[in-house]
Amino acid sequence: MVTLNDQERRALLELANEARRRAYAPYSNYQVGAALRTSSGRIYTGCNVENAAYPTSMCAERVAVYKAISEGERKFEVVAVVTPNGGSPCGSCRQVLAEFGLDTVVLIGDGEGSLIQETTVSGLLPGAFTPKDLVR
Q: Does the annotation count 14 as an active-site position?
A: no
pLDDT of the residue at 98: 97
Residue 111 lies in a domain: yes
For 79-134, how does the pLDDT look when each residue is reduced to its tens digit (9 = 90+)? 999 999 999 999 999 999 999 999 999 999 999 999 999 999 999 999 999 988 99
Residue 110 lies in a domain: yes
Residue 112 lies in a domain: yes
User: What confidence tier does 135 reach under pLDDT thresholds 50, 70, 90?
Assistant: confident
Residue 20 lies in a domain: yes
CATH of residue 99's domain is 3.40.140.10
Report the domain count for the chain: 1
Residue 65 lies in a domain: yes
Closest residue by Cα to residue 120 from 3, 27, 10, 22: 3
Give percent above pLDDT 90 in the chain: 96
User: What confidence tier does 70 reach under pLDDT thresholds 50, 70, 90?
Assistant: very high
pLDDT of the residue at 106: 98
Residue 1 lies in a domain: no
Q: What range does the domain containing 25 cover?
A: 6-133
pLDDT, average across residues 5-17? 98
Beta-ladder partners of 117: 108
Residues 4, 14: Cα–Cα separation, whole Å: 15
Closest residue by Cα to residue 24 from 74, 81, 63: 63
Of the candidates 50, 61, 73, 77, the residue annotated as catalytic is 61
Q: Is residue 45 scored above 90 in pLDDT? A: yes
pLDDT of the residue at 35: 98
pTM to 2 decimal places: 0.96
